[in-house]
Structure 1
Amino acid sequence: MGTAITANGQTSGLSSLQAEIARKIIMMIDAGRWETGDKLSDSVLARELGVSRTPVRQVLQSLELRGLVRGAENRGFVLARALGPDDDLKEVIPASDLETLYDAMMSARASGEIGEEVSETELVERFSATRGAVRRTLMRLSAEGLVDRRRGHGWQFAECLVTDRAVDESYEFRLIVECGALLVPSYSPDAAQLASLKREQTDIAGRAIRDIERADWFSANANFHETIVSWSGNRFLVQAVRRQNSLRRMTEFSDFSHLSERRLREACADHLAIIEEIERGDFNFASALLGRHIRRASRDDVD
């Protein structure tokens, strides 16, 4: 990828949620979801992505500034053009300063560069950030269950998955929760979400590993596991998987550089095979394939 899309020098100004929605919509465009002139329905996208229509509409407005979509009278938005070889996703939807700080803090904690207990002053100095930016990032990490405010002073990171024992227990827990979720009597996949998962996994599988950002890799994997569990209709199972995804996020930030192309292709093939069995309605076999996938990931420590 070379020259980036420009928008009169404007930056995205998107929130973390909007940036995530934008990345997913752009991946859909790149995968050929729509032909030029096709309508992009904000209500359909909101349902597929599990968000409200407002942030989807805001993202489409941002993409309109970049010439990817255009407004159409009484039709909302339509695709203006496909992505070209010179389009750079990171320039289309540049990360915000807060997103950059979040990534840096996650990587530093995962690698042990910052300790389990930290102060805001320490983080301000280490990352050359404002205290407000550091505090907002810590609040985001706190909402994800990755850090807690200490009584009186400072912050303490959760254990996360920084020990072999914790990693083993995480995989054991996931085998019970995720595989069991596919076997509940009320299991009912959503067809639109199922099709979206297949497109996302196919897109990741078709990219060269050098073109895959670690945030995209983790997002696609976390989205796969959370979505298939969500079809159980059990809120407690979904909450458990979200918690595990939060714990895994920090570890996988540091593990991504060790991911081989073989392992990436294997993981995507596993996901697509599970999706295929869910499409067929064979939830028992899908659960068995998911168990094999998680056990294989536990040996390679990459999911």
Structure 2
Amino acid sequence: MLDTSNLSSLQVEVARKLMPIIHAGRWSVGEKISDAALAREFGISRTPVRQVMQFFAEKGIIAQTENRGFTLIRRPAPEENIDELVPPSEVDSLYKRIMHARANGQIGSEASESELLEHFNTSRGVIRRTLARLSAEGLAERRDGHGWRFAECLDNRQAVNESYAFRTIIECGAVTEDTFRADLEELAALEEAQRALLNAPLPSIEGSAWFEANAQFHETVVSWSHNRFLVQAIRRQNSLRRMTEYAEFAELSEAGVRKAARDHLAILDAIKADDRKLASAILFRHLSRSWAGSESHAEKRGD
């Protein structure tokens, strides 16, 4: 495990933002990583970004070049868990707590900073940085005055069905795009992760970890379309799902997890065989779920 004791809260946040981006394959091995571009993307100065890049250089993931630039030298292995490499910051922890609170109705669709301070018993600085993150993800917006309004939850049948219909259009369409090209390293990493889920004992899988693995699978497949607007759309849907489904993924069904992993592996097999029509059909079946019948809502998680 890396020693993170000398990292500031901001640097931990940057590190936890950077790891998923590397995992998702934004840069090929040997490709230059621009600290200036990341600083603009994260809305901060270059200094904490450079410090985090140097931090990952110690782990052998990034290398610093002679001209003080950075290049990617390897992607983190699937077993290099983000929480082990970089423990959650206060903002990461509060982000998840707000997700759970919204999903469970513990806080309403609108709240002031003072109300959030009282409810979560943390500092105003952490509250503001967390709200800024939620705002950047389209999950919260500032009201006139000092209040905040949270995005609508997918907490009713119509909203959920509309979300699934939208995702079906986006994801199946992405697979059939002329520009679709799978990254073989990313595909192998997804296969390894899905096989691990297929064989892991259910008690060892945390709901939030399964949600993130599931969301990463769908986002990575869409990213192979090389269409920025499709990627933005699926990221937005994943963000909306986080607001509602974090709590639901805590009640995992073993049958649901196994079925989802098998579906994901079948989609990847079809992509590897360059049968994108079949991949799209399996993905359509995977997403086109009936919300009626005897199967419980929790068993449907894993989509």
TM-score range, shorter chain: 0.7 to 0.9
Question: Please, which moves more after superposition, 185-194 or 139-148?
Answer: 185-194
SS at match of 1:155: strand
- Mapped pair 1:141 → 2:134: yes
SS of the residue corresponding to residue 141 of structure 2 reads strand
The residue that corresponds to 2:109 in the other structure is 116
Q: Specify the SS of the correspondent of 1:232.
A: coil
Unaligned runs of 5+ in 2: 39-48, 67-71, 293-298
Counterpart in 2 of 1:19? 16
Q: What is the identity, as a one-letter code, of the residue corresponding to 1:60?
A: F
Partner deviation per Cα, 1:63-122 (whole Å, 9 max, x = no partner) = 48xxxx9x9xx9x989xxxx8xxx997555321111111111111011100000100000
Of 202-211 and 229-238, deviating more is 202-211
Displacement of 1:160: 2.5
Q: Per the alignment, in what secondary structure is the counterpart of residue 44 of structure 1?
A: coil
Which aligned pairs between 1:1-303 and structure 2 lie closer than 5 A? 7=3, 10=5, 13=8, 14-19=11-16, 44=29, 57-58=53-54, 60-61=56-57, 63=59, 90=83, 92-296=85-289, 300-302=299-301, 303=303
CA distance in 2, matches of 1:126, 1:55: 33
Q: 1:88 to 1:60 in 2, by over 3 A?
A: closer
Secondary structure at the counterpart of residue 15 of structure 1: helix
Tell me: CA distance 1:276–1:56, structure 2 relative to 1, closer, same or farther (3 Å).
Answer: farther
Judged with a 3 Å threshold, the aligned counterparts in structure 2 of structure 1 residues 88 and 227 are, in CA distance, closer, same or farther, namely closer
Per-residue CA distance 1:153-205 (angstroms, 9 max, x = gap):
30001112122210111011111111111112222212222222222222333
Aligned-pair identity in percent equals 45
Aligned partners of 2:113 and 2:146 also within 8 Å: no
1:276 is aligned with what amino acid? Answer: D
Q: In the aligned structure 1, how far is the partner of 2:248 from the partner of 2:183? A: 32
CA drift of 1:242 comes to 1.0
Structure 1's consecutive aligned runs of 4 or more residues displaced over 6 angstroms after TM superposition are 51-56
Supply the distance in 2 between the matched residues of 1:56 and 1:46 (Cα, whole angstroms). Answer: 17
CA contact (8 A) 2:111 2:148 kept: yes
Return the offset for 1:232: 1.6
| Length, aligned pairs only | 273
TM-score calculated relative to the size of structure 1: 0.76
- Cα RMSD of the aligned pairs, angstroms, is 3.7
CA distance in structure 1 between the partners assigned to 2:91 and 2:31 by the alignment: 24
Shift of 1:62: 6.0
Q: CA deviation at 1:140?
A: 0.4
Structure 1 unpaired stretches of 5+: 28-41
Distance 2:276 2:158 in 1: 30
